Structure 1
Amino acid sequence: MPHPFHPDDFPINKEVVLKPTKTYYLKGCVHFKTNAEVLDLTGKIRQRFNNFSKEFLDEAGEAARQAGGPAFSISSSGNMMRTIKTLTDAGSGEPLCDLNITFVSFGSSTVRFPSGSQHSRHEIELCPVGDGWEPQRHEAFVKNSIPYFWDMSDGRVGVLYKCLNQQRVEIARVAGYGFDQDAVLVLNANELDEVVAVSTCIILINGRDAMDA
Structure 2
Amino acid sequence: VCSVNLTGLDCVTFFESALAVARMLRRGGRTPEALLTEVTFMRYRDGRVTDYASRLHYLSDWFFDNDARRVVRVITGDLPGAVPFTKRVGYMSAHPETYRQLKANPGLVAKIARVEADINARATHYLPKEKVAAARGLLKTGDIVGITTTIDGLDCSHSGLCYRDDGGVVRLLHASTTRKAVVLDEDLASYLAGVSTQTGIMVARPLEVVRPAVP
Q: TM-score range by the shorter chain?
A: under 0.3
Q: Report which of the two structures shows the higher radius of gyration computed on alpha carbons.
A: 2
Q: TM-score, normalised by structure 2?
A: 0.26
More helix by share: 2
Q: TM-score, normalised by structure 1?
A: 0.26
